[in-house]
C-alpha cells in the first residue's frame, strides 16, 4: 500500500470513528433531554398537587390531575402517568409514591427507570429494580389486583 492509500484509509477510519461517537452522543443527549423534561413536568405537577393539598387538606383526585395535565409544559414527555391518589390516606408517609411514569432509555449510558413524585412533592429518578422494590413495599393487594386487571398495565 502506498503512502497515499494509507492516508486515505486512516482518514476514513477517523471519520467513521468520529461519526459513531457523534451518533451515540446524540442518542444519549436525546434521552437525557427527555428524562429532564419528564422530571420538570413532574415537578410542575407536584407543585400544583401540593398547592391543592395545602388548600384542601387532601391530594386531588385523578380527574383533577387529568384536567391540569394538558396545561403542563413538557407533559408529552411524561407518557403514561400512574397517579396513586386513591391509595393515599391520612397516615401515608411523605416518602409515599404519589405518581410515577416509566421512561425507557435507548442509550447504552442511561438505564431504564421511573420518574417518581412523592407525597412530599419531591421528584426523583429511580432505576427500575429499586422502583419495583419501593413500590412493592407501598402497594396494597387491592392496588396490585386493580393494576393487573387494567387495560394499560404500568408496572
98 φ, ψ to 5°? -95, -40
pLDDT score of 13 more than 80 = yes
Q: Which of 86-95, 103-112, 117-126, 144-153 has the largest mean confidence? A: 117-126
Residue 142 vs residue 150, higher pLDDT: 142
What is the mean pLDDT of the segment spanning 120-126?
93
Residue 27 located in a structural domain:
yes
pLDDT: which is higher, 36 or 123: 123
Q: Is residue 105 part of a domain?
A: yes
pTM: 0.76
Taking a C-beta distance cutoff of 8 angstroms, is the pair 128, 115 a contact? no
Q: Is 155 within the bounds of a domain?
A: no
68 vs 99: CA distance, rounded Å:
14
Q: Which of 141, 133, 73, 131 is nearest to 100 (CA)?
A: 131
User: Residue 60 domain-assigned?
Assistant: yes
CA angle 24, 26, 29 (to 5 degrees): 110
Residue 4 region by backbone torsions, left for phi larger than 0, else alpha for psi between -120 and 50, else beta: alpha
Contact 68, 49 (CB under 8 A): no
Within a domain: 119: yes
Average pLDDT over residues 133-153: 77
Q: List the domain range (segments joined by +) for residue 114.
A: 3-149
Residues 112 and 103: beta-carbon distance below 8 Å? yes
In angstroms, rounded to a whole number, what is the distance separating the alpha carbons of residues 41 and 77?
8
Domain count, the chain: 1
Whether residue 14 lies inside any domain: the answer is yes
Percent of the chain's residues with pLDDT above 90: 37
% of residues, the chain, pLDDT over 70: 92
Any domain includes 154: no
The whole-angstrom separation of Cα 64 and Cα 72 is: 13
Of residues 134 and 79, which shows the higher confidence score? Answer: 134
pLDDT at 153 over 70: no
Amino acid at each position: 500500500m502506498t503512502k497515499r492509500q494509507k492516508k486515505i484509509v486512516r482518514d476514513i477510519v477517523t471519520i467513521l470513528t468520529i461519526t459513531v461517537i457523534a451518533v451515540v452522543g446524540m442518542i444519549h443527549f436525546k434521552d437525557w433531554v427527555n428524562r429532564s423534561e419528564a422530571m420538570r413536568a413532574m415537578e410542575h405537577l407536584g407543585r400544583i398537587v401540593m398547592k391543592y393539598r395545602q388548600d384542601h387538606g387532601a391530594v386531588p383526585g385523578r380527574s383533577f390531575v387529568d384536567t391540569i395535565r394538558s396545561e403542563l409544559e413538557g407533559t408529552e414527555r411524561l407518557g403514561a402517568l400512574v397517579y396513586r391518589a386513591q391509595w393515599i390516606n391520612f397516615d401515608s408517609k411523605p416518602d409515599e409514591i404519589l405518581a410515577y411514569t416509566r421512561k425507557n432509555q435507548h442509550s447504552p449510558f442511561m438505564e431504564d427507570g421511573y420518574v417518581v413524585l412523592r407525597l412530599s412533592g419531591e421528584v426523583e429518578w429511580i432505576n427500575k429494580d429499586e422502583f419495583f422494590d419501593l413500590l412493592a413495599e407501598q402497594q396494597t393487594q387491592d392496588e396490585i389486583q386493580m393494576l393487573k386487571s387494567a387495560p394499560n398495565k404500568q408496572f
